[in-house]
Every structure is written in structure tokens, then in C-alpha cells.
Structure 1
Amino acid sequence: MVNRQSDLIGDLKERNTLQERRITELEAAQHRRDKVCEEIKIRLEKTENRLNKHFSPSSDTKNTKVKLIGKDNHKGRIVGSRSLLINARNSEIPPYEKGVIAFYAQMSSIRVRPGVSHTLIFDKVRTNVGNGYNGFTGVFTAPKEGIYAFIWVIRLYLAERSTELMVNNDILGATFMRTKNGDDGSVSGTAIAHVAKGDVVFVRIHSTYAGDGNVLSNVYGMATFSGWLLH
């Protein structure tokens, strides 16, 4: 029980450190967004001024400035400020700030006899759009609120294991597999969940049943953890 409590305290400390780091990253991202928007605003104002100088007033436009208003002109298309703003933002802002969040990680080596409530670390990160997943802790921290899909795959050989998918302290899903008679196989779990910004999601060995044997992962069959924002 003391060892279990010690492990839980260690996990909580790691998650707290991760959340503090994530807050710092989000604050930096907000600063970058503000800077980009200010630069776009300045460019649009300069473009509008150039167009206003270029078009001389006529009888129909004597008291009217040429505005970038995002509408078509009968004598030619004028790209509006709204379109310019959208195009500029799409070229400057990273994919996750456009709403794309996805991660996919693999376990690079065997995990030898992990104990009760042990967090499984999928350390080989292949995709991490949004930087929500940490390959050192095995924990995904949601960059924004939404509906997420999660899939985890566990491979066993001569073992018996149950795993849990956790959202904070809530058990979202669980898998079980027994490979005792020379068998080698994989079991997968899938879950869809509403996750709040800052919530942590991870895979661990069952909290009350440790089972026995190793978690296997190699080129012939990998243990993996993945997730993405649906909406």
C-alpha cells in the first residue's frame, strides 16, 4: 500500500509539472497569436491606404473611399479584408490553432512486469499536432475542450494483463487479455469522451489487478496510444 501511494504521489507530481509547463506554453502561444494579429492588422491598413490612393474619385465615388470589405465588384474582384485576414492567419498559425489536435505514440521496447496502477509510457512519438502528448510521462493533456477519440493497443506474450484508460481520476475504458499457453497477441480499446481543457488522459495497468508478465512491443506488433479531437 505504501509503494502504491508513493507511485500515485509520483504520478501526481509529474502531472502537476506537466500542467504547469503546458500553461506556460499556452501563454507563449497566446502572445504569438496577438503579435501575428497585430502584424496582419498593420498590413491590412497599409493595403487599404494604397488602394484608396490608387483609385481617384469619380462622379459616383466622389465622397467614397475604396474599402476592403470582402465583396465582389461588378467590374472586377476586390479581395476583402476578411479574406486577406483568413488567408494570412492560415499561413501563420500552426495546425492545432486551426482546430487540429492529434497524437500517435508507440512503445519502443518491452515493459518488464509493470505493477498495479503503473502508467504505461509510449515513448516513441510519431505524431503530436498540438503538442498535447508527452512522450516522457505517457500523458496527454488536452490543449482545448472538445469531444476526443482515443485508441490504445497492448501486446502480450505469456502474460495476463488488464489495462485502464484514464481521464484524470476517472476510468474511461479497460481491456483484458490472457496469453498463457505460448500465445502472443494484441488487444485494443477505443473510447470517445468529452474532455475539458487541461484534463489528462493516459493508459495504466489496472488499479486493483496487476496480472503478470511483460508488455511486449517490437516491429512485429507494437503497443500504441493515439487520440484526436473530433469536435
Structure 2
Amino acid sequence: MNFVTGICKNTTPKLFDDQIQAIQKSVRTIVEDGSCGNKNIPVGFHAYMGSTKTIAKGVVWVYDKIVINTHNAYSGTTGKFTTPEQALYMFSYDTLSDPGKMSHAGLHVNGKIRSWQACNNYGGKHQGFTCSNSAILLLQKGDVVYVEDHLAAATIRGLYSDFSGAKLN
């Protein structure tokens, strides 16, 4: 290791500090924007449940494993998608019910159900039962879209139950 001696001026550390802060600001902008600086990336998300859950009627289903989430419009904490702009959107939700279990997923927009699904698996003893549904909706900026059971408590098999949405161009 070589040591350099001399007079240290504060201009060089200040310059490095300014550059580091500028880089941090750019990274924060990219992360918060969710589009890596490219406004041309379409709005869309896909998430699935990381574990099997029993969820009470009227409780929002949280799909906590996010595969893609442009524009950070979907929350893996609340299970809700908030539309970043007015547009036509397509949503899909799939549910796997265990043998002897049921679920009745409903796609809700601002608290009102817009699409229904019934997954009653009372006949099979060793087989899961999968239900799917999709909907195309004209939504306003700030509308909140989510899935919850509209009939009773639901038992939902993780990994095989998912929720997706995308803005149609």
C-alpha cells in the first residue's frame, strides 16, 4: 500500500458526495416509478399466493408473491391494485380449492363486485378443483381493484391461486 501525503482539499470529497447523492436520487426515482425510467412500459401485474390460506368472507385476498408489477400499481401487502390512469383493463384470477373446501372469489372495484367465481370442491377426496375468471373493465384513475370471497370463508391453495391485471392498449 502506498501512502500519499499532501494537502487535502474538501472539494474532492464534496464532489464525490454530490455525485453519490445524484446517483441515489436516480435509483430512488427508478424504484419508485416502477418502470425503470421508461414510461412506455405498459401497466401490468401478476401475483400469486405464497401459502395455503383460509380467509374470512369480506377480507381482501392478498397475493403476496409478485412476479411482475410495472408502475408499482399492485400492493403485495394489501392485495389491491390501484389504476394509475383511466383506461380499459383486463383482470384474471384463478383459485385452487382443496378437496372438501370451497371459495367464491369476487373481483371488486371500489367495494362493488364486478365479476364472480364459484369453486365448490365437495365431490373430490383427493383432487383439487380450479376455478378461473376474467373481466375487462373501463376504469378511472385511482380506482381500486381486488379479490375477496363474496359468500363465505374460503380455503385457497397457495402457489396455484393467482391474480393478474393489465391495461389494454
State the TM-score bracket (shorter-chain normalisation). Answer: 0.7 to 0.9
**Equivalent residue for 2:167?**
229
Q: Give the alignment partner of residue 85 of structure 2, picking from 118, 125, 144.
A: 144
Q: 2:40 matched to 1:98?
A: yes
Q: 2:139 matched to 1:200?
A: no
Deviation of 1:217 (Å): 1.8
1:195-220, Cα deviation, whole Å (9 max, x unpaired): 111110000011xx205x521123xx
**Equivalent residue for 1:186?**
130
Answer whether contact 2:41 2:70 (CA < 8 A) is retained. Answer: no
Q: Which has the higher contact order (CA 8 A, sep 6+)?
A: 2
Deviation of 1:94 (Å): 2.8
Instruction: State the distance in 1 between where 2:112 and 2:136 align.
Output: 13
**Equivalent residue for 2:70?**
129
RMSD between aligned alpha carbons? 2.3
Three-state SS of the structure 2 residue aligned to 1:133 is coil
Instruction: State the distance in 1 between where 2:103 and 2:164 align.
Output: 20
1:65-104 mapped onto 2 (5 Å cutoff): 94-95=37-38, 97-98=39-40, 100-104=42-46
1:27-52, Cα deviation, whole Å (9 max, x unpaired): xxxxx7xxxxxxxxxxxxxxxxxxxx
TM-score by length of structure 1 reads: 0.55
1:50-69 mapped onto 2 (5 Å cutoff): none
Instruction: State the distance in 1 between where 2:46 and 2:136 align.
Output: 16
Instruction: State the distance in 1 between where 2:103 and 2:47 align.
Output: 20
Indicate the structure (1 or 2) with the bigger Cα radius of gyration.
1
Instruction: State the distance in 2 between where 1:140 and 1:192 align.
Output: 14
Instruction: State the distance in 1 between where 2:96 and 2:103 align.
Output: 10
Deviation of 1:99 (Å): 5.5
Deviation of 1:130 (Å): 1.1
Q: Give the alignment partner of residue 176 of structure 1, picking from 101, 118, 127.
A: 118
**Equivalent residue for 1:41?**
none
Higher helix share: 1
Deviation of 1:101 (Å): 0.4
Answer whether contact 2:47 2:163 (CA < 8 A) is retained. Answer: yes
Which residues of structure 1 form unaligned runs of 5+? Answer: 1-31, 33-91
The residue identity in structure 2 corresponding to 1:229 is: K
1:155-166 mapped onto 2 (5 Å cutoff): 155-157=96-98, 158-166=100-108
Instruction: State the distance in 1 between where 2:162 and 2:74 align.
Output: 13
Answer whether contact 2:117 2:131 (CA < 8 A) is retained. Answer: yes
Deviation of 1:93 (Å): 7.0
